[in-house]
Chain A
Amino acid sequence: MMWFTRKRKKRSMGDETAGRQAPADSERSLADLFNDLRQSKDFVSRDHALKNMTVRISYVKPLIDTETMHRDVTRYLLKSEAATLEDLIPDLPYTTVIHTKDVKEMKEKLLRGYVLIQENQNEANGILLETVAKSGRQVDAPEVEFSVIGPKESFVESLEPNLYLIRKRLPISELRIKEVVVGKLTKSRIAVIYIEGIANKENLNTLTQRLKDIQYDQVIDSSFITQMVADNNHSPFPQLLDTERPDRVVSGLVEGKIAMLVDGSPLALMGPTTIVEFFSAFDDYALTWYLASAFRMIRLASVAFSVLATPLYVAVLTYHYQLIPKSLIGTIISSRMGIPFPPFVEAFFMEITIEVLREAGVRLPTKVGQTIGIVGGIVIGTASVQANLTSNILLILVGMGALASFTTPNYKMNNTVRLLRFPFLIAAAFWGLIGIGACFGLIVAHLLTLKSLGRPYIEPFFPYRVRDLKDAFVRLPYNQQGIRPQQLRPLDTWRLSHKKKKGRDIDE
C-alpha cells in the first residue's frame, strides 16, 4: 500500500504546480537552466567587471528593453562600489528588487523579460530586475463592437494596458484582480477581475476552479478559455460574454459579473451571462430608453427573421401553399415559373452561396473583400434569377436574412444565428411547419438546461424573474434600474439608495 500512497502524493504535488511549471523541471539545477537557455542565440550571459567585484548579467534579449537596461541597470552597476550582491541592491534605482535563490523563479522571470544579476555564476543566488520590453499596439477604437456614440477605446494584446483601462474607470479599492496562469507551454496569465462586496463568491469560485482545472498546452486567446470553462462545450451558444470594450466590462463588473482578461488577447470575457445580453449593444444605453428599446426590439425581430425566413418559405411553398393569400399567390407563381428545383434545393443553395460570400469576404483583405461582396452578391444574385435558377422572392428573403443576422452585436452569437437556420431549413423541407416547430422545441429544450457559470442561461424568461425583464426586450430608464440583475446573485442588490420619490401633483 505504501508505494501506492507515495505515488498518489507525488502526483498530487505535481498537480499543484502543474499550472505554473511542468513537474519534471522543478528540481533542475542552475547549470541545467543555463545550458538550456544557451541553446538559443538570443540568450545573453556575460561578465561585468565593477569597481570592487565582478557580476554576471543574463537576460533573453528580445524580451527586454535594451535602452531601459542601459539606463537603469548597467549605468548604476558601473558606478557602484559594492563588494557583495546584498550591497549592490541599494545602489540600483529600483523599488522592487527580487533577491532569490530559487532556480525556478529565476527561470520564470528570465523568460518574462527580467535581467538576472549574479555574483557567482555557479551559485543559485541572484537578483532579478524588471526590464520588460513594452512594445505592442496602441489603444485603438473598437472594430467589432463599434458604437456611434460613447467611448472609443478597446482592449489591446497586453494585460497591463487592459487592466489600466478598467482600473481608471473604477477608482475603488474594492476592485480585485486575481491572477491565474494557464497552459503548459504558453503559460498565459489570466486576470480574474471582480468587485468585492458585489460579485457573488460562488460564481468566482466556480470560475477559478474551472480555470485551475484547465489542462492544455496552449492558451493563445480568450476564446480558448471560453470553450474550456463553458458549462456545456457542445452547445452552439456562447456561454461567456466576450467584449473588446472596457466600458462594457466595467458596467458588467458593477452589475456583479466576473471578468477575465487573458494576456495576449484583446477580448475580455464576462460571466455569468444570459442570452439577451448577446443582443444588447452599447447604443442601447446611450439613447433614451424608449428609443433604445425600440431598436433592441428591431434587432431581436431581425434575428428571428434571419433564422426563420427561408425555412418558412420552404415549408409554406412545399407543403402549405394554402397559407398564401390569393393576391400574393400570383406573384409567387410568376416568380417561380420555370424554376427546375423544389423550394428546398433552391433555398439551400442560395443560403450556401451567401455563406460562401461571407466567408470569402472575411478571409480577403479589407478592400478586396468589399469589392467581392458587392460584385459577388449583385452579379450572382441577378444572374441566378435571370438564369431561372432561383426566384427573386427567395433572393429577397435570403438577402434580408443575411443582412438581419448581422444586426447581432456579438460576433460569436452572430455565427450561432447564421448556422441555426440550417437545421430549421432541413426540418422544414421534411416536415413543413411541424418540423420548424419541432426544431424550435429542441432548441428550447437545449436552452432550458444550459447554464453560464452555473446560472440559468435564459434567465429572465425561465426561471421567470420580472425584475430582470427591465433589461431584456426593453431597456427601462435608469431610475427603474435600481436593482442589479438577480441572475448574478449580487451580494449588494441595490444600485441606488432606494428612497421613493413622491409623485408631484400639478402646480406644486
Chain B
Amino acid sequence: MRVKVPEDHQVSPFFLLFLFESVLVGVGILGYQRVLSQVTGSDSWMVVFIAGFCVQIILWMMFRLLERGGGDLITLHESLFGRWIGGFLTLAAAGYFALSGLVVLRTYVEIVTVWMFPKMSYWMLSIIVAIVAYSFIAGGFRSIVGINFLSVIYTMPLLFTLFFPLKNADYYNLLPYFNHSAADMLKGVQQITLCYEGFEFLLMFYPFLKEPKQARKWGHYGIWTAIFLYELVLIVPQVYFNEEELNHIVWPSLALWEIVQLPFMERFEYIGVTIWLFTILPNLCLAIWSASRATKRLFGFNQRVTVLIMLIAIVIAGYFFKNRQLVNQLNMTQALIGFYLLYAYIPILFIYQTILQKVRKRHGQG
C-alpha cells in the first residue's frame, strides 16, 4: 500500500538539507557542552563525530526501510506487524513525537524565564509559542518546511557571535587527546543523543518528498551540516572556558552571547534568545505535525482538531514540570527513549524487514 500525497503538498528534496539542519539544532545545542565535558572532557569533539557518524548510519537504514516499505511509518508497521500490533506501535511513536514537542516547548519556556522574564508566568509564554506554532502547522507541511528553511536563514547571523569569544581563547584547552576510556566515550555518545534527535520525523513526512531517491543525499548533507555546527559550538566554549568552568555552566551557548559587545547594544543574549524562538519552532511544529499525522492515518481524525488538542495538552502538561530539576528529568527521559528508538528500534526494524522480505521472496519462489 503506497501513500499518495498530492503533488502541490510535496516539497522538493533539496529542502531536506534545511529540514534536518534546523530540526537537529534545537534546544539541545544550548547546553550539551557541559554534559559532554563532564564525561569526556577534551575528547568531546571525537564524541560529536562518532555520534554523528552513527546517526548517518541510522539515517541510511531509515531511508532503506522507507524505500522498501513504500510509505511512512504506519505503512511500515502494518506490513511488518499486522494491523493491531502495528497500530499500537504507531500510537506509541505518536506519543513519543508529542513528547519531543513537549520537551522543546518546556525547555524553551524555561530558558526564556531564566534569561529574560523571571516574573512572567509559564502560561503566558507557552501559549504564545503554541499559537505561533499552530499558525504554522495549520498551513500544512509546506508551511512547516517554510519555517524550517527560514529559521536556518534567520539564525545564520548568530554564527558571527562565535567570533567574539575567540579574542580571549586559549587553544591549549583542547588538549590532551585520547585520555578517556571507550566506556566514557560511549556514555558521551548517549549523552549527546538528545541533540541529534529529530530526524526520526522523516518516518512520517517521507511521502511528502517529491523525489525520495534524490532526497537521500540532501538528508546526509543536512546531518553533516549539523555535525559541523555542533563541533563549532562545542569547540568555541571549550577554548574560552577552561574545563572546570565549563562543567558548571548550564547553558554554555547562551553564556557565550554574554561576551558579545556591540557599540549600540549590550547583553546580546536577549536578542539571541528571541531569535532562538525560530529555531525551536520548526522542531515543535514538526513534532506536533508528525504526532497528529500519525493519529490521522490511524483513526482518520481531523488534523486541525488533533493539532489543537495536542498543543493544548502539551501546554498543560508542561505546567507540571515546575522547576529546573523536573525539566531536566523530562529532557533526560525523552533523550533516553530517543536513544533506544534510534539505536535499537530502527536497526531491529531494519533487520526484521530484511529477513521478512527474503523469506517472503523465497516463499514466493517455492
Bind each other: yes
Q: Mark A298-335, 1 if CB is under 8 A from B, else 0.
A: 00000000000000000000011011111010000000
B146 sits at the interface (CB 8 A): yes
Find out whether the CB atom of A435 lies under 8 angstroms from the CB atom of B128: yes
CB distance from B289 to the nearest CB of A (A): 13
CB distance from B202 to the nearest CB of A (A): 20
B277 sits at the interface (CB 8 A): yes
Within 8 A of B (CB), among A443-465: 444-446, 448-449, 461-464
B229 sits at the interface (CB 8 A): no
Cβ of A449: which chain B residues have Cβ within 8 Å of it? Answer: 139-140, 143
A444-B150 CB under 8 A given contacts A323-B270, A328-B264: yes
A394 sits at the interface (CB 8 A): no
Cβ of A461: which chain B residues have Cβ within 8 Å of it? Answer: 149-150, 153
Find out whether the CB atom of B131 lies under 8 angstroms from the CB atom of A438: yes
A442 sits at the interface (CB 8 A): yes
CB distance from A209 to the nearest CB of B (A): 17
Find out whether the CB atom of A448 lies under 8 angstroms from the CB atom of B143: yes
B65 sits at the interface (CB 8 A): no
Cβ of A445: which chain B residues have Cβ within 8 Å of it? Answer: 132, 135-136, 138-139, 143, 147
Find out whether the CB atom of A434 lies under 8 angstroms from the CB atom of B139: no
Cβ of A326: which chain B residues have Cβ within 8 Å of it? Answer: 266
A434-B266 CB under 8 A given contacts A441-B281, A445-B147, A461-B150: no
A434-B117 CB under 8 A given contacts A445-B132, A448-B146: yes
Q: What residue of chain B has the Cβ atom nearest to residue A427's Cβ?
A: B128
Find out whether the CB atom of B143 lies under 8 angstroms from the CB atom of A319: no
Within 8 A of B (CB), among A119-140: none
Find out whether the CB atom of A433 lies under 8 angstroms from the CB atom of B128: no
CB distance from B41 to the nearest CB of A (A): 33
B267 sits at the interface (CB 8 A): yes
A431 sits at the interface (CB 8 A): yes
Of B135, B153, B265, the contact of A325 (CB 8 Å cutoff): B265
Find out whether the CB atom of A325 lies under 8 angstroms from the CB atom of B274: no
Find out whether the CB atom of B128 lies under 8 angstroms from the CB atom of A431: yes
Find out whether the CB atom of B12 lies under 8 angstroms from the CB atom of A463: yes
Cβ of A433: which chain B residues have Cβ within 8 Å of it? Answer: 116, 270-271, 273-274
Find out whether the CB atom of B277 lies under 8 angstroms from the CB atom of A324: no
Cβ of A320: which chain B residues have Cβ within 8 Å of it? Answer: 116, 267, 270
Cβ of A325: which chain B residues have Cβ within 8 Å of it? Answer: 262-266
CB distance from A202 to the nearest CB of B (A): 12
Within 8 A of A (CB), among B146-203: 146-147, 149-150, 153
User: Which of B138, B266, B271 counts the most A-chain CB atoms under 10 A from its CB?
Assistant: B266
Find out whether the CB atom of A434 lies under 8 angstroms from the CB atom of B274: yes
Q: How far is the CA of A438 from the CA of B284 in the complex (A)?
A: 14
Find out whether the CB atom of B112 lies under 8 angstroms from the CB atom of A434: yes
Q: Mark B254-269, 1 if CB is under 8 A from A, else 0.
A: 0000000011111100
Find out whether the CB atom of A438 lies under 8 angstroms from the CB atom of B132: yes
Q: What residue of chain A has the Cβ atom nearest to residue B134's Cβ?
A: A445
Within 8 A of B (CB), among A404-448: 431-438, 441-442, 444-446, 448
Q: What residue of chain A has the Cβ atom nearest to residue B108's Cβ?
A: A434
CB distance from A204 to the nearest CB of B (A): 19
CB distance from B161 to the nearest CB of A (A): 15
B1 sits at the interface (CB 8 A): no
B124 sits at the interface (CB 8 A): yes
Q: How far is the CA of A463 from the CA of B13 in the complex (A)?
A: 12
Q: How far is the CA of A463 from the CA of B147 in the complex (A)?
A: 11
Q: How far is the CA of A344 from the CA of B14 in the complex (A)?
A: 44
Find out whether the CB atom of B150 lies under 8 angstroms from the CB atom of A434: no
CB distance from B277 to the nearest CB of A (A): 5
Chain A interface extent, by class: 20 to 34
Q: How far is the CA of A449 from the CA of B117 in the complex (A)?
A: 32
Q: What residue of chain B has the Cβ atom nearest to residue A431's Cβ?
A: B128
B129 sits at the interface (CB 8 A): yes
A442-B132 CB under 8 A given contacts A434-B112, A437-B277, A437-B278: yes
A322-B267 CB under 8 A given contacts A438-B131, A445-B135: yes
Of B125, B139, B140, B267, the contact of A323 (CB 8 Å cutoff): B267
B275 sits at the interface (CB 8 A): yes
Q: How far is the CA of A448 from the CA of B149 in the complex (A)?
A: 11
CB distance from B339 to the nearest CB of A (A): 31
Find out whether the CB atom of B270 lies under 8 angstroms from the CB atom of A322: yes
Within 8 A of A (CB), among B94-125: 112, 116-117, 120, 124-125
Find out whether the CB atom of A434 lies under 8 angstroms from the CB atom of B125: yes
Q: How far is the CA of A324 from the CA of B263 in the complex (A)?
A: 10
CB distance from B272 to the nearest CB of A (A): 10
Find out whether the CB atom of B124 lies under 8 angstroms from the CB atom of A431: yes
Find out whether the CB atom of A441 lies under 8 angstroms from the CB atom of B266: no
Find out whether the CB atom of A441 lies under 8 angstroms from the CB atom of B277: yes
Q: How far is the CA of A199 from the CA of B248 in the complex (A)?
A: 63
Cβ of B267: which chain A residues have Cβ within 8 Å of it? Answer: 320, 322-323
CB distance from B94 to the nearest CB of A (A): 24
Cβ of A444: which chain B residues have Cβ within 8 Å of it? Answer: 146-147, 150
Within 8 A of B (CB), among A324-364: 324-326, 328
Cβ of B116: which chain A residues have Cβ within 8 Å of it? Answer: 319-320, 432-434
Find out whether the CB atom of A323 lies under 8 angstroms from the CB atom of B265: yes
Cβ of A464: which chain B residues have Cβ within 8 Å of it? Answer: 14-15, 149
Cβ of B265: which chain A residues have Cβ within 8 Å of it? Answer: 323-325
Q: How far is the CA of A461 from the CA of B153 in the complex (A)?
A: 10
Of A322, A435, A436, A448, the contact of B139 (CB 8 Å cutoff): A448
CB distance from A448 to the nearest CB of B (A): 4
Q: How far is the CA of A322 from the CA of B115 in the complex (A)?
A: 12
Q: How far is the CA of A323 from the CA of B269 in the complex (A)?
A: 9
Of A328, A434, A448, A463, the contact of B128 (CB 8 Å cutoff): A434
Cβ of B146: which chain A residues have Cβ within 8 Å of it? Answer: 444, 448, 462
CB distance from A433 to the nearest CB of B (A): 4
Q: What residue of chain A has the Cβ atom nearest to residue B112's Cβ?
A: A434
Find out whether the CB atom of B147 lies under 8 angstroms from the CB atom of A448: yes
CB distance from A72 to the nearest CB of B (A): 56
CB distance from A438 to the nearest CB of B (A): 5
Cβ of A446: which chain B residues have Cβ within 8 Å of it? Answer: 135
Q: How far is the CA of A464 from the CA of B153 in the complex (A)?
A: 11
Q: Mark A263-295, 1 if CB is under 8 A from B, else 0.
A: 000000000000000000000000000000000
CB distance from A318 to the nearest CB of B (A): 11
Cβ of B11: which chain A residues have Cβ within 8 Å of it? Answer: 463
Q: What residue of chain A has the Cβ atom nearest to residue B14's Cβ?
A: A464
Q: How far is the CA of A461 from the CA of B128 in the complex (A)?
A: 26
Cβ of A328: which chain B residues have Cβ within 8 Å of it? Answer: 264
Q: What residue of chain A has the Cβ atom nearest to residue B266's Cβ?
A: A325
Q: How far is the CA of A322 from the CA of B273 in the complex (A)?
A: 14
CB distance from B163 to the nearest CB of A (A): 19
CB distance from A430 to the nearest CB of B (A): 8
Q: How far is the CA of A94 from the CA of B275 in the complex (A)?
A: 71
Within 8 A of A (CB), among B332-357: none
13 cross-chain CB contacts under 8 A: A322-B270, A325-B265, A432-B116, A434-B125, A434-B277, A435-B128, A441-B277, A448-B142, A449-B139, A449-B143, A462-B145, A463-B11, A463-B12
In the complex, given contacts A324-B266, A431-B120, what are 16 additional A-B residue pairs having Cβ atoms less than 8 angstroms apart?
A: A320-B267, A322-B266, A324-B265, A432-B117, A433-B273, A434-B273, A437-B275, A438-B132, A442-B131, A442-B132, A444-B146, A445-B135, A445-B147, A448-B143, A449-B139, A462-B149
List 3 tightest A-B contacts by C-beta distance, closest first. Answer: A445-B135, A441-B132, A448-B146
Please report B residues at the A interface, Cβ cutoff 8 Å: 11-12, 14-15, 112, 116-117, 120, 124-125, 128-129, 131-132, 135-136, 138-140, 142-143, 145-147, 149-150, 153, 262-267, 270-271, 273-275, 277-278, 281
